[in-house]
Amino acid sequence: METLPCTSMESAIGPLFLAASGRGLVALEFDVRLPGQQSIRPNPRHLREEKKGFTFEDSAKVMLPYVNEIIEYFARKRREFSFPLDLRGTEFQLACWRALLAIPYGETRSYADIARAVGKPNAFRAVGMANNRNPIAIVVPCHRVIASDGGLCGYGGGLEVKRKLLELEGAVSGMLAA
């Protein structure tokens, strides 16, 4: 059983939950989960569907470096995060998440762009599912992925949160501003 230090914090888009391992940030989740949204944390109603092997230890002190950078991001004082990540997923998911990390602050890409970036040009739906499984919201910026027509679509925190994050980064234009 792996024990992960964790904490919760308030943000401009609502409460966030963060957990880390000795290798880096493992999870940054919206505190309120939408139906079907993946989570590292157990949900008493769906224990069999949740990830096994974790216990959590509330530790604001250990999590402070992560929290400080998230606060700086929301204050528009940080465009890139310097802390390490401990991404855990399939080979395809990891490739997709690395492609997301390459999207610059304030820019967007389409699901098709990400599919091409990972060498699977027809896998845009699979890219969408990898984004849905992204365990480190905001830092692994799946909010920067939009539909090919420039519109907002699919986001674990909800489309309004996606819009707010893109507005914060100055990436809103055309259909996004509608």
**Active-site amino acid positions:** 142
| Phi, psi dihedral angles at 10 (to 5 degrees) | -90, 150
Pick the closest to residue 56 from 30, 19, 86 (CA basis): 19
Contact partners, residue 99, CB within 8 Å, separation at least 6: 114, 117, 118
Q: How far is Cα 178 from Cα 176, in angstroms, rounded to an integer?
A: 5
Q: What is the DSSP string of 151-165?
A: -----TT-HHHHHHH
